[in-house]
Amino acid sequence: MTDDRHFHIRSARPGDAPLILKFIRELASYEKLAHEVTATERNIEINLFGARPTAECIIAEHDGTAVGFALYFHNFSTFLGKPGLYLEDLYVQPEFRGRGYGRKLLAHLAKLALTRGCGRFEWAVLDWNAPAIGFYKKLGANIMADWRINRLSGGALEKLASEASD
């Protein structure tokens, strides 16, 4: 479990882009998706700390050293008529896992979601990631087996966009 004397969560700040990208790459490697990471420090800097931020990030620290992060943004539930909080990435470095840091990051975001009037806190998990699925179930998360994520990117996104009338 966490020793709160050594653990701290802080909001990411300008200048953290290299650290956030490092964590994104470590997570992608764990998920066997490193080849899909095209993010740059500049992308992260603009989208988290620029004039119109599209996402937010918190950093987990142990004795002042960053050991993990959670990157999230708001969505909207038409069924609830309320905003939601969507967790894009959660990552704790392997040597710091099992200490409750992931749970603390999620608890922090759950509290933030309630404070901001969100009706939901959601995220996706890869179907082969049994440790994460088990962890999320212990938190009380409902694994939505009937829902599938749909994604358009690259050429498919561009092709569909080209059909839009201006």
Read off the pLDDT of residues 72-102 as tens digits, 9 standing for 90 and up: 999 999 999 999 999 999 999 999 999 999 9
- Quote the pLDDT of residue 67: 98
41-48 contacts, C-beta under 8 A, 24 or more apart: 41/17, 42/17, 44/17, 44/20, 45/14, 45/17, 48/12, 48/17, 48/20
Q: Which of 72, 86, 91, 136 is catalytic?
A: 136
- Quote the pLDDT of residue 5: 85
Q: Please state which CATH number belongs to domain 7-162.
A: 3.40.630.30
Q: What percent of the chain has pLDDT over 90?
A: 94
Q: Is 136 one of the catalytic residues?
A: yes
Domain borders along the chain are 7-162
pLDDT in tens, 115-134: 999 999 999 999 999 999 99
- Quote the pLDDT of residue 48: 98
- Quote the pLDDT of residue 166: 78
